[in-house]
Structure 1
């Protein structure tokens, strides 16, 4: 067993293989990077309570002494978002009464390491991992870059951005925005209550995509030619699409945009109560982000309602 107490900025090179990592942060920033060579930990900023680091049987743990997964409201597994929100509120209130703890930590791990990350208000960035990645946050931003395998990000009010993520992607927030840029995942799940969902998909293989909101708008850009069956419904939101094959039906208070693009091998399902729905086309050899495209109004989308 290797154990360290880190009370000031430091760098630790781990001479044993790391198969998985579990990190629980309060405030600051957490960066997890895949790279060859020995795993290492770099703490470039540290205030308040010291960090406790251990490496046991290939499992690397970085946390605070009195901070457990139960403090995050999901006990190691995701419960309802209300339970997480209440748990985080209690945690933040407790921490404010004690001391302010902040750390900036970078973990360099092998690409096949399995990671599970929790933060109260720290911004989290994960890049290059190719197995299982799980992030649980409250207010900090989450950025996922170049990941494979199974990726899951859950947040209460922090935004989640995923860039060039493949494999299986699951994103969930209460009111944070969910953004996927140049996504190649074959399975995408995006769920939020009031956040905006923006999905820019570039994968060549047909994907299974589902997006759900209550009041948040949903904008999805598909590669052209597309190969998917589309079913999108909104109670009061507006619809727009760049695909002539998609038709708007139903009545006010329950409209649906449906149709089959190409052979319909993939599936796209969108459900929202009051959010608007846009299904856009991604031209070949086109690289601008969907966020910019929507901002400058240059998408060529035609309103259908």
Structure 2
């Protein structure tokens, strides 16, 4: 095992191949980038507080503080050891598995084809261009996933969840009070039917479906409002509980969305018109308006 104790900005290049990356930090920023190279590189540009440990144990590359354990990441709410900060960027082979745990730090993970798992307390998380299975958990930080094609599972307490151009066959998202904006772009893709399941207690939920859509739809709210852009779907209920149900296309996929007091909006993506302009259309907000 090779180990470094980092107390100042530095660059490291572990010599052995890496198949797994683990990062655990408090405050600052974490950037993980998947590359076509076979080796890993670590760059620490800012560091305050106790030393940051970087070690290579077999094929695992571990970056973090020894007193911050993966299983306790989401419980670091009342600790006094916040007087630390680090900005770290790690370039790794795109096919490896990645685990990132952050407390008060922003996390950005890009271009990973292996499994990605992120746990955060108050920092925002951005996931971009991931093709492997993804799981993200947050207490109060926002979660944004763009162009993710792997199975996506997201859990948040108060943080908002945004999925832009989601092309994975499976999306699971749960929040307590955070709003959800789910923009799906699965039309024309080969593979299993989409399985989308969303739930919130008081957060608003907006889902934009591709054209043509192909799913059985069940969306309901106990006391919120609903809006529906599809003629083939039925809106039921006038007072109290409301629902939107029906089948779009052949009904191969599944869309289930529930919220207790939040509103639900079902929107449609613009129909393809052959325009060569590849600029993506704006994503909807949780109230049905575009951002």
1:140 equivalent to 2:123? Answer yes
Q: Is contact 1:235-1:252 (8 Å) kept?
A: no
Number of corresponding residues:
280
1:125 pairs, out of 108, 111, 118, with: 108
Q: Is contact 1:191-1:211 (8 Å) kept?
A: yes
The residue correspondences of 1:132-211 to structure 2 (distance < 5 A) are 132-204=115-187, 205=189, 206-211=193-198
1:252 equivalent to 2:239? Answer yes
Q: Is contact 2:32-2:109 (8 Å) kept?
A: yes
1:292 CA displacement? 6.7
CA distances 1:195-241 after superposition (whole Å, capped 9, x unpaired): 00000000134310011000000000001110001000101111101
> What is the rounded CA distance, in whole Å, between the counterparts of 1:131 and 1:122 in structure 2?
23
1:111 pairs, out of 90, 94, 99, with: 94
> What is the rounded CA distance, in whole Å, between the counterparts of 2:77 and 2:57 in structure 1?
31
- SS of 2:76 mapped into structure 1: helix
- SS of 2:80 mapped into structure 1: helix
1:95 equivalent to 2:88? Answer no
Instruction: Name 1:232's counterpart in structure 2.
Output: 219
1:50 CA displacement? 1.1
Q: Is contact 1:27-1:122 (8 Å) kept?
A: yes
1:33 CA displacement? 0.1
Q: Is contact 1:200-1:289 (8 Å) kept?
A: no
**Higher mean C-alpha deviation, range 120-129 or range 59-68:** 59-68
Q: Is contact 1:181-1:289 (8 Å) kept?
A: no
C-alpha root-mean-square deviation of aligned residues, in Å?
Answer: 1.7
CA distances 1:267-288 after superposition (whole Å, capped 9, x unpaired): 0000100110000000134722
Instruction: Name 1:76's counterpart in structure 2.
Output: none
1:61 equivalent to 2:62? Answer yes
CA distances 1:35-63 after superposition (whole Å, capped 9, x unpaired): 12221100011111111011111001111
Q: Is contact 1:220-1:278 (8 Å) kept?
A: yes
Gaps of 5+ in 1: 73-83, 300-305
Give the structure with the larger helix fraction.
1
> What is the rounded CA distance, in whole Å, between the counterparts of 1:70 and 1:233 in structure 2?
34
Q: Is contact 2:223-2:260 (8 Å) kept?
A: yes
Q: TM-score, normalised by structure 2?
A: 0.92
> What is the rounded CA distance, in whole Å, between the counterparts of 1:141 and 1:101 in structure 2?
18
1:255 CA displacement? 1.8
1:294 CA displacement? 6.1
1:135 CA displacement? 0.2
Gaps of 5+ in 2: 273-278
1:278 equivalent to 2:261? Answer no
Q: TM-score, normalised by structure 1?
A: 0.88
